[in-house]
Amino acid sequence: MDFLAAYDAIPDDDVPQRVGLLRKAMVAEKASLFAQLRAERPVFSTPVGVFVTRHPDVLEVLSAPETFTVGVFGPALEDVLGAPFVLARDNADLHWRERGYGQLILGPEDAPRVRELTASIADSLLDEALARGTDTFDLIQDYSRLAAARISVAYLGFTGIDEDTLHNCTRRMQWAFAVNPDRNPEIHAAGVAAGRELHDRVAEVITGRRAASGDGPDDVLGRMLRTRLPAEYGFDDERVNANLVGYLTGSQQNITQCVATAVKELTVRPEVLAEAERAAGNGDPALFDSYVWEALRFHPFVPVTPRLCVRDHTLAAGTERQTVIPAKSVVLACFASAMFDGQVVDAPAEFRPGRPPAHNLVLGYGAHDCLGKYSASVIVPELVRRVLLRPGVRPLPGGERAMDYAGTPFPQHYPVSSGRPAGNAT
Ligand code: HEM
């Protein structure tokens, strides 16, 4: 469909129709919409915001946090968390320090043990699913969401909090701050209530740990509770609580979805799947991981991130597409488009593991790029690898794309065959 012709045919002042068409295209034909925008209208001003679709322009927006702030979703995120948080603030306003704190707490040295933990949680969940003896199981409900939650219990420190609470609360929270463009008050209220519920559960965990003697568990919460910062920084137990819940909110739905979409993107390309299966068993995690990150380029968890332009800015200055973005505009930095910009990314439609890091924006870019990237970069690939090591556990033939969102913004069901009985992992 020629999206721009259809869009331009709608009168300027018929905002609901234009927005309706745009939203439909974003759901049903995002890739072709972005391809057309990159070619014909790379900086596209609409009633819902200015779509920025070329790779250098997305990087320009995300490299200027003083001009393009997180003000679009920051206030909703802080309502949901009930406290300041790194992804809700900008450099001059607390982000700098929160970011430093997160880097201290979520360090790269955790990656090897998080990979081991992930592998063992993954294997036991797959064993449980296969032991049921059914022909199929649900890769999301029976595997990836439970794995993400169990990793958060053991690594982040949500001790004693059940998987359903961790998963369902973060789903409501993320829906409220990240996928509620019309500010639906019910969705917002549900997110705030979920944030409160998690806050109260974590407060009990913190009280218990403060009352116990010794250093406590060696997890992220334990590290936060042992960290002493000057009082004027304000990192009391309430801020520890909000940060921990914030980290969970940044990881639970993301991991759950990425595992399913990476399996999908590999499976719809049988030759790539065969290569990935070989890499899964060859003991070279870096090679295997590169298949998973390339798969996610085709279906990123965050396809678009919004920013609030707080002062007039000339984007792509000196190029043909130079555009003045006026203050108060919402700017939509389209990761999913930038990663397919053929003027930067070589043969973007081809599946090529090991592309240059700057061509893969799945974990974000710039001032707010993913603080959990060291753990995310082992958790997601290892969860996918453990699936591929079970030869019979694959999406159903013909159902490789059959991911069911069940009326929510995140995929809920993805049936896979059970294949061989339990105990075949290597
Ligand atoms: C599948 C895994 C993950 C994906 C795909 C992912 C993706 C992202 C993306 C795209 C951003 C940038 C958002 C923006 O610019 O608007 C981001 C930021 C962030 N992520 Fe992740 N993430 C993942 C896992 C994690 C994990 C495991 C944690 C924590 C343990 C985490 C914590 C955060 C935080 C705190 C930020 C905000 C950083 C800042 O504002 O400076 N993420 N993530």
* Rounded Cα–Cα distance for residues 45 and 51 (Å): 6
* pLDDT of 387: 98
- Residue 364 Cβ inside 6 Å of ligand 1? The answer reads yes
Q: What is the mean predicted confidence (pLDDT) over 363-377?
A: 97
Q: What is the mean predicted confidence (pLDDT) over 304-316?
A: 98
Give the contacts of 397 (CB within 8 A, at least 6 positions apart). Answer: none
**Ligand 1 centre from 306 Cα, in Å?**
14
Element (H, E) at 124: helix 111-131
**Alpha carbon 399 to chain centroid, angstroms:** 24
Closest C-alpha among 387, 313, 272 to residue 43: 313
270: three-class secondary structure by DSSP: helix
Is residue 419 very low, low, confident or very high in pLDDT (cuts 50, 70, 90)?
confident
Is residue 15 very low, low, confident or very high in pLDDT (cuts 50, 70, 90)?
very high
> Which DSSP string do the residues of 314-337 spell out, in sequence order?
EETTTSTT-EEE-TT-EEEE-HHH
**Ligand 1 centre from 1 Cα, in Å?**
34
**Ligand 1 centre from 249 Cα, in Å?**
9
* pLDDT of 283: 83
Is residue 338 very low, low, confident or very high in pLDDT (cuts 50, 70, 90)?
very high
* pLDDT of 215: 77
Name the β-bridge partners of 307: 331
Closest ligand 1 atom to 89 CA: 40
**Ligand 1 centre from 136 Cα, in Å?**
32
- The pLDDT of residue 92 is above 80: no
**280-294 pLDDT per residue, tens:** 999 889 999 999 999
Backbone φ and ψ of 51, nearest 5°: -75, 125
Is residue 94 very low, low, confident or very high in pLDDT (cuts 50, 70, 90)?
confident
SS3 percent helix, strand, coil of the chain, rounded to 5, is 55, 10, 35
Q: Which two tokens stand for residue 89?
A: 């603030």
Which amino acid, one-letter code, is at 322? Q
- The pLDDT of residue 397 is above 60: yes
Give the contacts of 104 (CB within 8 A, at least 6 positions apart). Answer: 227
Helices 111-131/373-388 angle, 10° precision: 30
Sign of CA dihedral 361, 362, 364, 370: negative
- Residue 302 Cβ inside 6 Å of ligand 1? The answer reads yes
* Rounded Cα–Cα distance for residues 26 and 20 (Å): 10
* pLDDT of 284: 87
- Residue % of the chain over a pLDDT of 90: 93
- Residue 106 Cβ inside 6 Å of ligand 1? The answer reads yes
- Give nearest CA residue, ligand 1 atom 23: 251
Pocket test for ligand 1, best of 166, 332, 370 (most atoms within 8 A of CB): 370
First to last CA, the chain: 47
* Rounded Cα–Cα distance for residues 261 and 198 (Å): 27
**Ligand 1 centre from 208 Cα, in Å?**
28
**Averaged pLDDT score across all residues of the chain:** 95
CA distance readout (Å), 267 to 59, 186, 243, 416:
31, 37, 36, 11
- Residue 251 Cβ inside 6 Å of ligand 1? The answer reads yes
**39-77 pLDDT per residue, tens:** 999 999 999 999 999 999 999 999 999 999 999 999 999
Note whether 197 and 235 are within 8 A (CB): no
